[in-house]
């Protein structure tokens, strides 16, 4: 092979490598620009008829049966308050102990928190993002994933301030 042919071959290989590197870079940018499933959301309606954004991993309430809704009156350091607790289960659920999805609302009908059992039996929790802001004056109407098995509403009842 002549020196000229060697240079042409080397140039051709560099061009191919450059195209491969460009394609890999574009693919990486595409993946980075695509939102992950963890960030995907959907909406549901609270007791006030308002739309609330929830993480996509929250089970669809429409596929569950309402077992019971109760009002629980409580006293907090900020005064009297309460919660509305909605218990859901599968269509086959007959007893409250079989509930596997719970929604907690303040007395105004703002959705504060959802807790449910995932497929492996672990408790998952999504809460209104303003529950962690003591200066918030109203619900954000956007739920975020909390620490698995830990309820902001149950652990910090003084936050019922909306």
Same domain, 142 and 98: yes
Gap between the Cα atoms of 148 and 107, Å rounded: 25
pTM of the predicted model as reported, rounded to 2 decimal places: 0.70
Please indicate, yes or no, whether residues 77 and 54 belong to a single structural domain of this protein: yes
Residue 54: its pLDDT value, please?
96
Residue 21 shares a structural domain with residue 98: no
Written as tens digits, the pLDDT of the chain (162 aa) is 666 555 555 555 555 555 554 444 444 444 444 444 446 999 999 999 999 999 999 999 999 999 999 999 877 777 778 899 999 998 888 888 889 999 999 999 999 999 999 989 899 999 999 988 888 889 999 999 977 656 666 555 444 545
Same domain, 94 and 144: yes
* pLDDT for the residue 93: 80
- CA 57 – CA 55 distance, rounded (Å): 5
Same domain for 97 and 22 = no
Q: In what order do the strands lie in the sheet with 123-128?
A: 65-76, 79-89, 101-106, 111-117, 123-128, 143-145
Kindly tell me the sign of the dihedral angle through the C-alpha atoms of 154, 101, 109, 136: positive
- Other C-beta atoms within 10 Å of 85: how many? 16
Residues 90 and 64 occupy one common structural domain: yes
Q: Which domain holds residue 139?
A: 38-159
Both 11 and 49 in one domain: the answer is no
Same domain? For 10 and 75 the reply is no
Give the pLDDT score at 150. Answer: 63
For the chain, what is the domain count?
2
Distance CA 33, CA 110 (A): 33
Identify whether residues 11 and 59 lie together within a single domain.
no
Same domain, 42 and 26: no
What local confidence, expressed as pLDDT, does residue 82 receive? Answer: 86
Same domain assignment for residues 50 and 8: no
* Tokens (6 digits) for 20: 């491969």
81, 21: one domain: no
- Based on C-alpha coordinates, what's the Rg of the chain? 26
- Got the DSSP string for the chain? --HHHHHHHHHHHHHHHHHHHHHHHHHHHHHHHSPPGGG-EEEEE-TTS-EEEEETTS--GGGSEEEEEEEEEEEETTEEEEEEEEEEE-TT--SGGG--EEEEEETT--EEEEEEE-TTS-EEEEEEGGGG-TT--S--SBEEE-STT--HHHH-GGG---
pLDDT value of position 127:
93
Q: What is the pLDDT of residue 62?
A: 93
């Amino acid at each position: 092979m002549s020196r000229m042919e060697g240079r042409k071959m080397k140039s051709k290989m560099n061009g191919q490598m450059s195209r491969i590197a460009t394609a890999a870079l574009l693919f990486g940018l595409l993946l980075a620009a695509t939102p992950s499933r963890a960030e995907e959301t959907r909406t549901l309606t609270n007791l006030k008829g308002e739309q609330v954004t929830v993480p996509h991993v929250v089970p669809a309430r429409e596929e569950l049966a309402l077992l019971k809704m109760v009002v629980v009156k409580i006293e907090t350091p900020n005064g009297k308050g309460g919660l509305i607790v909605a218990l859901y289960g599968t269509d086959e659920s007959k007893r409250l102990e079989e509930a596997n999805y719970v929604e907690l609302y303040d007395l105004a009908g703002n959705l504060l928190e959802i807790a449910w059992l995932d497929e492996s039996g672990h408790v998952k929790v999504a809460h209104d993002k303003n529950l962690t802001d003591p200066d918030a004056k109203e619900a954000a109407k956007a739920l975020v994933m909390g620490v698995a098995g830990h309820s902001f509403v149950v652990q910090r009842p003084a936050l019922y301030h909306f």
